[in-house]
């Protein structure tokens, strides 16, 4: 695999509103109506995708392989959460990001995320082969 296009220093962002649908209570990851950790991780992954997806050749995508985060503060229903991803390393198909999330008042999450660039048709063919 050669140079795919993503370069260290690229930034991506993703936003969402905290609603009843993305609370810890709804996800089953807690018993309180505050922004769920799994929802925050998903938003951080989306920011990472937004960071690099436009720089990948047609027919390629990236898949998440590792997430290490700290959920630092609770966010109530009604607030907006913004996740940001900065590409720290691009080593061929291996990508590593610094990820953060803020709710307008404070940083609510931080950590790192790794993704791997895949050729979409080959990846899907291998995944779907599990069905046969």
Q: Which of 37, 53, 86, 102 is catalytic?
A: 37
Active site residue 37: yes
Q: Which of 16, 71, 75, 113 is catalytic?
A: 71
CB atoms near residue 91 (< 10 Å): 8
Active site residue 58: no
Active site residue 122: no
Q: Which of 19, 21, 31, 45 is catalytic?
A: 45
CA 113 – CA 58 distance, rounded (Å): 23
Active site residues per annotation: 37, 45, 71
């Amino acid at each position: 695999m050669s140079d795919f296009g993503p370069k260290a220093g690229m930034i991506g962002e993703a936003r969402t509103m905290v609603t009843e649908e993305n609370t810890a209570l709804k996800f089953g990851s807690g018993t309180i109506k505050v922004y769920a950790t799994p929802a925050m991780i998903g938003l951080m992954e989306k920011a990472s995708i937004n960071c690099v997806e436009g720089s990948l050749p047609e027919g390629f995508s990236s898949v998440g392989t590792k997430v290490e985060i700290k959920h630092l503060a609770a966010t109530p229903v009604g607030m907006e959460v913004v996740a940001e991803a900065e590409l720290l390393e691009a080593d061929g198909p291996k990508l590593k990001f610094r990820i953060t999330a803020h709710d307008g008042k404070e940083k609510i999450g931080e950590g790192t995320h790794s993704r791997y660039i895949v050729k979409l048709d080959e990846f899907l063919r291998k995944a779907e082969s599990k069905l046969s």
